[in-house]
Homo-oligomer: A and B are copies of this chain.
Amino acid sequence: MKTLRPIGVIRSDLKKPGDAPKQGFEGAPDAWIDVYAWAAKAMKGLAVGDEIIVITWFHRAKREILQVHPRDDRRNPLTGVFATRSQDRPNPLGLHPVVIRAIKGNRLRVGPIEAIDGTPVVDIKPVLHSPPSP
């Protein structure tokens, strides 16, 4: 069964989709991730300063959308959602590269992150840097 179980939730000052920039690096704030108690053991080893990728579920997305005008600008030609970061897509997963700013119990302060308050978090992964090519 490919059913996602949220491991936590975003707590942000961004309350509405219209408040959020499209990408974290476009002026997004820091936010808290409240990791649920059952999953807190999986945080062991995370440290302040770590680069991580937060995977969210865009719970307001339209899953039937396959093509969009990028950045909601009709002057941009219709493009397949796999070539864009549109939230509307068959499986509305969000990837957010962030830095851990603080850890308090089972809460992680991370940023910058454009996800709005209440967005479910489904995974957290460390950023891996591949070795330089020989």
Identical copies of this chain, number: 2
Please state if B53 and A95 are interface contacts (CB–CB under 8 Å): yes
* Docked CA distance A82–B130 (Å): 19
Number of interface residues of A (CB under 8 A): 47
Partner pick for A130 among B23, B95, B125, CB 8 A cutoff? B23
Contact with A83, one of B7, B44, B84 (Cβ below 8 angstroms)? B44
- Cross-chain contact A80 with B45 (CB below 8 angstroms): yes
A55 at the B interface (CB under 8 A): yes
A83 touches B45 (CB 8 A): yes
Cβ–Cβ < 8 Å partners of A6 in chain B: 2
Complex Cα spacing A82 to B33, Å: 13
Instruction: Name A120's contact: one of B2, B3, B131 (CB within 8 Å).
Output: B2
Contact assessment for B85 and A67 in the assembled complex, using a CB-CB cutoff below 8 Å? no
CA of A74 to CA of B126 in the docked complex: distance in angstroms? 20
In the complex, which of the residues A43, A44, A55, A130 has the most CB atoms of chain B within 10 Å of its own CB atom? A44
Question: B41, B50, B80: which contacts A43 (Cβ < 8 A)?
Answer: B80
Q: At the interface, yes or no: A102 with Cβ under 8 Å from chain B?
A: no
Are A44 and B80 in contact, CB atoms less than 8 angstroms apart?
yes
Complex Cα distance A79/B7, Å? 17
Nearest Cβ in chain B — how far from A120, in angstroms? 7
Name the B residues within 8 Å of A78 (CB-CB): 44
